[in-house]
């Protein structure tokens, strides 16, 4: 029982900590700037990093940053509910009801991660497809950067990657899943 509680409390701490960390990152490099990279990070407050430089470059090919990301408004509430569920599951004790609560919590966590991944993928699709048709450079075709990994956009290589906050949430979900699998008599 102690191990299950430790797993769930650790998952709760990691889940809450994700609100303080960057969630997603983007790194852009180009051959003409071999020693430089532009970095963007998305956290619960929005997009940060080399925003001005990237926006300036993106105007040439008609790419637009999302003007609003409403999912960042509800993110803290959902993360805090998941944290609370994990703590309640840790305190629930033994028995069928406690195990059902752990399974419910993990299921809610997985649904949250899946919905978040779908939103990220939609944002990435929109970046490469919802472009300004009057942009000066027309040679760059529509594109969809992958959620994780590189994409070639013009002469830039753009890397998308989960940042510390996303990795914290994923680790928390795995720990909660391990706790839910344990049968406690």
> Domain ranges in the chain?
2-181
Output the pLDDT for position 183: 65
CB 135 within 8 A of CB 141: no
Q: Is the pLDDT of residue 115 over 50?
A: yes
Residues constituting the chain: 185
Give the tens place of pLDDT for each residue, 31-45.
988 889 999 999 999
Note the pTM of the prediction, 2 decimals. 0.87
Q: According to the model, what pLDDT value does residue 164 have?
A: 97
Flag whether pLDDT at 114 surpasses 50.
yes
Q: For residue range 118-152, what is the model confidence (pLDDT) as tens digits?
A: 988 998 898 889 888 898 988 888 888 889 999 99
pLDDT band at 13 (very low <50, low <70, confident <90, very high): very high
**Which of the two residues, 10 and 54, has the higher pLDDT score?**
10
Query: How far apart (Å, rounded) are the C-alpha atoms in residues 52 and 58?
Result: 10
Average pLDDT, the chain: 91
Asked if pLDDT for residue 185 goes beyond 50, the answer is: no
Percent of the chain with pLDDT over 70: 98
Residue 174 CB-density burial (10 A; 0-12 exposed, 13-18 middle, 19+ buried): middle
pLDDT for 7: 95
């Amino acid at each position: 029982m102690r191990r299950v509680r430790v797993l769930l409390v650790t998952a709760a701490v990691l889940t809450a900590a994700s609100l303080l960390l960057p969630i997603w990152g983007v790194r852009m490099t180009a051959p003409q700037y071999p020693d430089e990279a532009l970095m963007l990070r998305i956290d619960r407050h929005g997009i940060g990093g080399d925003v001005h430089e990237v926006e300036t470059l993106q105007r040439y090919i008609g790419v637009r940053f999302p003007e609003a990301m409403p999912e960042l408004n509800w993110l803290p509430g959902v993360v805090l509910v998941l944290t609370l569920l994990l703590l309640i599951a840790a305190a629930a004790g033994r028995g069928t009801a406690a195990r059902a609560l752990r399974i419910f919590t993990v299921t809610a966590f997985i649904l949250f991660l899946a919905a978040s991944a779908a939103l990220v993928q939609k944002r990435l699709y929109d970046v490469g497809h919802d472009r300004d048709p009057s942009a000066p450079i027309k040679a760059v075709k529509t594109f969809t950067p992958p959620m994780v990994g590189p994409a070639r956009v013009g002469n830039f290589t753009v890397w998308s990657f989960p940042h510390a906050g996303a990795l914290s949430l994923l680790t928390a979900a795995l720990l909660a899943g391990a706790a839910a699998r344990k049968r406690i008599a």
